[in-house]
């Protein structure tokens, strides 16, 4: 999909121009990074939803130095998390802050958000819940979402490390676009899938306990006190590291 | 090893009686849960160390509502994290707190610490670094530690969920006690080992950026606003969940 077409289809859904740019940037970055399940195909998916509220705006319902609480208030999770990230960059914590987001779905590629924070010099960890799609390794109905964990660490060399790991062996987006079968959507890890399942379950309940009903997200944003990335890159001796293109 | 022998060997290393109980409780809980690499075998391992400082005491070097910084100050990581946990239970955050611990090694079974927080009604996430033992999936020398992530969520049914996942396919403790070969100590996940590697690397740099030189740990502790565990257990319909015995 060409950028002009993507933008005009997003605008046709009723989004204002700033939101169109945010959504386009998110989907296009995922597309460019090969995360096709979070890429342009999501525009077609948005067109199938019948409960879009393109004029909704996320709300910061509580704020203190070390804690914020946001509510999507009907806005897409993409736009809620983008607003959260912009607010942290505008008013970063003196040391650390936990940000809890309720009614925040869908959130797409979490690496996109934490990379923006790292580009602004902040260390970030972000997780988000999504519909139950992964069964327990012993069987049964899907019990947990793919619940990714994204971590970003700024670097004085200008290239942050961005680790963004879904607990699913494939993404739901891959299933949506026909690149994976529904039965491949299980916790990753093969014989050790219980580990990815435990991570997905722990992250889901962590978010649920803080954000309450509905899908949510929790962000931890901290000012760094050290610059460990350049030395790690040197030790890695040219191996591709998470977040590298 | 019988409890009396374990306690007397720990006391013979020079630890005071409170620290002996803390260490014994940690190792014995791991042993009972089948985490043998973190169990009684670690007492023999402590006996091989020539730089133990059994009289060292961890120090809280900075504290505010939403942020604390601790330094092991020569104490074992087990004792540093136990002191951190006790301090959070004694003075829990109003909403959320990030606790950064420097010079905090070894830390053992992270589930033990977060379970204590969940038993006190707090939601917790904890990660810690350790010596580089896991290579990049494409090869090379070990680049990252097994860097576990532990998550605990209290429950009104009295049984918290405790998810504690190391990013290694086996533990270093298993290698130490001869239950696994050194070459099995790689990121878990088989064909998708790049995911566990990315988690281990991201968690390592997250801690390193906050805690500075040496091995460290980062704890996030938050008051819950919801009680999601009972409903999840019901949906799991008797399947074994993380942290269950």
How many Å apart are CA A147 and CA B195, to the nearest integer? 13
- Residue B209 burial class via C-beta count within 10 angstroms: exposed 0-12, middle 13-18, buried 19 and up: buried
- pLDDT at residue A97 is higher than 90: yes
To probe the interface with A, which of B136, B189, B217, B219 has the most A CB atoms within 10 Å? B189
Per-residue model confidence (pLDDT) at position B147 = 97
By C-alpha distance, the chain A residue nearest B232 is A143
Compute the 3-state secondary structure of chain A and give helix, strand, coil in percent, each to the nearest 5.
Answer: 40, 20, 40
DSSP annotation of A166 reads -
CA angle A186, A112, A26 (to 5 degrees): 95
Question: Looking at residues A129-146, what average pLDDT do you find?
Answer: 97
By C-alpha distance, the chain A residue nearest B138 is A239
DSSP annotation of A141 reads E
Q: Show residues of chain A in contact with B164, CB under 8 Å.
A: 198
- pLDDT at residue A245 is higher than 90: no
Question: Looking at residues A93-112, what average pLDDT do you find?
Answer: 98
List, for chain B, all residue ranges whose pLDDT scores fall below the cut of 70. Answer: none
Q: How many residues does chain B have?
A: 245
How many Å apart are CA A196 and CA B242, to the nearest integer? 11
To probe the interface with B, which of A145, A189, A221 has the most B CB atoms within 10 Å? A189
Tens-place pLDDT, residues A159-209: 999 999 999 999 888 888 799 999 999 999 999 999 999 999 999 999 999
Query: B195 to chain A, minimum CA–CA distance in Å?
Result: 6
Per-residue model confidence (pLDDT) at position B176 = 80
Domain ranges for chain B: 55-236
Per-residue model confidence (pLDDT) at position B129 = 98
* The pair of three-digit structure tokens given for residue B237, joined into one six-digit string: 């319909």
Per-residue model confidence (pLDDT) at position B136 = 98
The domain over range B55-236 is classified in CATH as 3.40.50.1000: no
Per-residue model confidence (pLDDT) at position B181 = 95
Q: Show residues of chain B in contact with A196, CB under 8 Å.
A: 189, 195
Beta-carbon separation of B192 and A206 below 8 A: no
% of chain A exceeding 70 in pLDDT? 100
Per-residue model confidence (pLDDT) at position A173 = 81
| Mean pLDDT, chain A, whole residue set | 97
Other beta carbons within 10 Å of A38: 27
- Asked whether B169 and B186 are in contact (CB, 8 A), the reply is yes
Beta-carbon separation of B98 and A240 below 8 A: no
Question: Could you tell me the CA-to-CA distances from B27 to B5, B8, B214 in Å, in that order?
Answer: 13, 14, 23
Per-residue model confidence (pLDDT) at position B245 = 85
Tens-place pLDDT, residues B111-123: 999 999 999 999 9
Per-residue model confidence (pLDDT) at position B174 = 84
Indicate left, alpha or beta for B108 from its phi (over 0: left) and psi (-120 to 50: alpha): left
Per-residue model confidence (pLDDT) at position B37 = 85
- Residue B29 burial class via C-beta count within 10 angstroms: exposed 0-12, middle 13-18, buried 19 and up: middle
DSSP annotation of A157 reads T
A87-126 residues touching B, CB cutoff 8 A:
93-98, 100, 123, 125
Question: What is the second-level CATH architecture of the domain A53-236?
Answer: 2-Layer Sandwich (3.30)
Other beta carbons within 10 Å of B63: 13
B61-90 residues touching A, CB cutoff 8 A:
64-67
Per-residue model confidence (pLDDT) at position B173 = 81
Q: Show residues of chain A in contact with B110, CB under 8 Å.
A: none
What contacts A237, CB < 8 A, 6 or more positions away?
A: B140
Q: Show residues of chain B in contact with A204, CB under 8 Å.
A: 228, 232
How many Å apart are CA B221 and CA B122, to the nearest integer? 7
Per-residue model confidence (pLDDT) at position A135 = 97
Quote the ipTM score. 0.98
**What is the model's pTM?**
0.98
Per-residue model confidence (pLDDT) at position B185 = 96
Beta-carbon separation of A195 and B188 below 8 A: yes
Tens-place pLDDT, residues A28-48: 999 999 998 899 999 999 999
């Amino acid at each position: 999909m060409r950028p002009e077409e993507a933008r005009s289809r997003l605008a046709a859904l009723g989004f204002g121009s700033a939101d169109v740019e945010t959504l386009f940037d998110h989907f296009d970055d995922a597309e460019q990074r090969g995360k096709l399940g979070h890429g342009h195909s999501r525009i077609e998916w948005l067109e199938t939803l019948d409960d879009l509220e393109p004029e909704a705006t996320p709300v910061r319902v509580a704020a203190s130095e070390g804690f914020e609480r946001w509510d999507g208030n009907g806005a897409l999770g993409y736009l809620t998390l983008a607003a959260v990230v912009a607010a942290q960059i505008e008013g970063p914590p003196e040391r650390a802050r936990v940000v809890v987001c309720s009614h925040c779905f869908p959130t797409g590629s979490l690496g996109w958000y934490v990379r923006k924070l790292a580009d602004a010099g902040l260390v970030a960890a972000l997780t988000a819940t999504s519909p139950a799609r992964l069964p327990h390794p012993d069987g049964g109905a899907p019990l947990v979402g793919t619940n990714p964990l994204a971590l970003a660490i700024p670097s004085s060399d200008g290239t942050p490390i961005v680790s963004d790991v879904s607990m699913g062996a494939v993404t739901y987006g891959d299933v949506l676009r026909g690149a994976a079968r529904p039965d491949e959507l299980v916790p990753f890890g093969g014989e050790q899938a219980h580990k990815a399942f435990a991570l997905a379950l722990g992250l889901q309940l962590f978010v649920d306990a803080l954000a309450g009903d509905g899908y949510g997200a929790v962000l931890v944003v901290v000012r760094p006190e050290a610059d460990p990335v350049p030395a790690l890159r040197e030790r890695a001796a040219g191996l591709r590291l998470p977040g590298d293109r």
